Amino acid sequence: MRSRAKHRSRIALAGTASAWLLLLAAALAAAAPVSESVGDGIVRFDASTGARAAALPSLCLVAPLTALGPAPADFPVHPRFATMYGRHGVRIAVAAGTGLYGTGEVSGPLLRNGRAVTLWNTDAFGYDRATEALYQSHPWVLAVRADGSAFGVLFDTSYQGRLDLREGIVFFADGPEFPVIVIERDSPRAVVRALADLTGHMPMPPVWALGYHQCRWSYTPASRVREVARGFRERKIPCDVIWMDIDYMDGFRSFTFNPSTFADPAALNRDLHGEGFHTVWMIDPGIKKDPGYFVYHQGTALDAWVKRADGGTYVGDVWPGACVFPDFTRAKVRTWWAGLYADYLATGIDGVWNDMNEPSIFHVDSKTMPLDNRHDADPDLGGPGNHQRYHNVYGMEMVRATREGVAAARPGRRPFVLTRSSHLGGQRYAATWTGDNTADWEHLADSIPMILNLGLSGQPFSGPDIGGFAGNGDGALFARWMGIGSLLPFARGHSAKGTIDKEPWAFGPEVEATCRRALERRYRLLPYLYTVFHEASVTGLPVARPLFFADPADPGLRGVDDAFLLGGDVLVAARVAPEDGPRATVPDHGWRRFDFGPADGADLDLPALYLREGAIVATGPVEQYVGEKPLDPVTLLVRLDAAGRAEGDLYEDAGDGFGYRDGEYRVVRYRAVAVGDSVRVTSSVADGRWPLPVRRLAVRVLLDRAESSGDGPEGGPVTVAGR
């Protein structure tokens, strides 16, 4: 959802990097930073011993850090601290040839050198590449040196900050002095893994959440929801999830249903489930100030609301009109909020969408609460403080409460929660998307680097509004966007009120055919994609990865914006400009193009897919929804390396629930080896308690200019002749 005014960045900390550096240089003479080792290759720096003693609890880290001793004498990164104009700052010099990445949810290019971003969660409807403050804040930079080694810098503060990468790494922020945590590793992959260990890992999602999602502001009434769902099934276009935006509510009151347009949500959910759909419904934090509204009544009795500086309850306008806002910094309030989900989910709702949770406030220039509003935060978050301290984590604490409520209401099922606002570490609670984008080619092009930088900032599960939220666009744009968006981690089409219809069939038969092919590709790749999601949940590696992960020392891969790696074995090369020019440049060696059929290869709106040398990728059948068909046969794509070998894993579990935590899963390891003119493929269980299944394997061996195929029983060996 969105506010009514076009976003203008709130940049209270603006100033050129050069001017700030001149002042910093003057202040550095008195700086005496202290450092301590807090892990292997991880050092925490503070401006002084006094700053270390006075540091607030971290709102980024999953657990407090323990000092292990002094920092290594040869640690290569040296933050320099200074305080000027009442703000505390840090500068880190970087060597020539160093690429800078991460910085969270930002528009513009993948390579962040020469860019600046303001960390202040903002309702940014209509944002563009000049907008410096978006919906989320990630005080984090990944630096990749010319030799491929890397370091990451976490500025551990929730206050509004400015991260300036025009001359090295410069960060300064409101609020008290803050620690700086530096991770030193031999590769960017290793840095991102260490970041996840510090800030938390994405929990494993239910498998249906990896399917395609269809949304609009809003599908209403319930008959329109059924019509859209029927449109997917009748046209044989894969889809797993239909979303309900804010208009399903009774007067925009969260946890209610409009008695006229959604009189029987349980029946609607039941009917959609019968057609293979899941549903996700929106909940906003602004609670209508209405004594007859049960949520307002309960929250008032609990004294749950955020307060003004004078102690009275803060009231601000959002969609319902005058609203109050839960103080999610209090465990008591989060527990109450979590409890509201039991009856709500009992209607058959599968997932929850938390929106407008920056928090967004209408009719005020700041677009949010006054900074002197008061949060009665618990001691583990730092105790009572003003909104300036807790603004950037308000959305994250909201989805923390939401996730706990969904988990408690359905203890045997994995929660799916989506959030617009978040902070570094928010991947522990929710997936996210890139907010209210626009239906134009610039936003299409930005989709890839935005998702890549979110992944490099600890959030593996994200995607854009496919087709663009604001504005109409046209069929050419929509087809191209579906081709790309269907291969990003979170694949959801979404559009704004007042725009044209944007279902996959809305632009005519040619665009519909491209959308069908694009989504069929995603569903064929779901066994591999689910395997990559499992890897992300365990290691913290992104699902969508920049090309330089394949070779961090290759300078030609450092700024590629129109291609990405899906996991470690599949490369996606896209066209992001309106003309049908060449796709993204693919590394010179080690990759072999593949398609799922001649129509895919001939469709210029679909990205080209490549398989890594030495890899085996498991794929499945075309399905209209996850679980419609058994994974039998498994189709293996095999690309031998120079030694005539290849290997790959397939992760399988129940797709929902938590049995996998107790070993109820299997990792099937496939190995291929060239034997004369043939290729021999074997499979075995490498991990988990599930045995090897009784099913068939279909094997496609991708050769330099052709391919061979064969099939046989799982466990093999399966021999493919004609190498």
d(CA 447, CA 79) in angstroms, rounded, equals: 32
Among 177, 358, 446, 465, the one annotated catalytic: 358
- Residue 136 pairs in a beta bridge with 422
Residue 457 sits at the vertex; the CA angle it makes with 453 and 458, to the nearest 5 degrees, is 125
For residue 692, which of 666, 661, 710, 655 has the smallest C-alpha distance? 666
Residue 392, both tokens: 């950037």
Q: Which two tokens stand for residue 455?
A: 């992944």
Cα dist from 337 to 244, 305, 326, 334, 343, whole Å:
20, 11, 8, 5, 12
The single-letter DSSP state of residue 296 is H
- Asked if 512 and 235 count as a contact pair (C-beta separation under 8 A), the reply is yes
The rounded distance, in Å, linking the Cα atoms of 345 and 406 is 8
In whole angstroms, give the CA distance from residue 698 to residue 712.
Answer: 7
Is 234 an annotated catalytic residue? no
Task: Give helix 475-485 / helix 441-455 axis angle, nearest 10°.
Answer: 10
Q: With H, G, I as helix, E, B as strand and everything else as coil, classify residue 588.
A: coil
Catalytic residue, chosen from 436, 503, 520, 535, is 436
Is 227 annotated as catalytic?
no
Task: Give which of 139, 170, 177, 175 is closest to 21, Cα–Cα.
Answer: 170
Q: Distances in Å between the alpha carbon of 248 and those of 224, 324, 406?
A: 12, 20, 20
Assign 138 to helix, strand or coil: coil
CA 205 to chain centre: 12
**Does 358 qualify as catalytic in the annotation?**
yes
Q: How far apart are CA 404 and CA 400, in angstroms?
A: 6
Q: Are 683 and 638 in contact (CB under 8 A)?
A: no
| Residue position matching structure tokens 């120079």 | 642
User: Long-range contacts for 94-99 (Cβ within 8 Å, ≥24 apart)?
Assistant: 94/143, 94/168, 94/169, 95/145, 95/146, 96/146, 97/145, 97/146, 97/555, 98/143, 98/144, 98/145, 98/146, 99/143, 99/144, 99/548, 99/558, 99/559
Q: Which candidate in 46, 355, 397, 562 is catalytic? A: 355
In which residue are the tokens 């009231």 written?
315
How far apart, in whole angstroms, are the C-alpha atoms of residue 345 and residue 410?
8
Question: Which are the catalytic amino acids?
Answer: 355, 358, 436
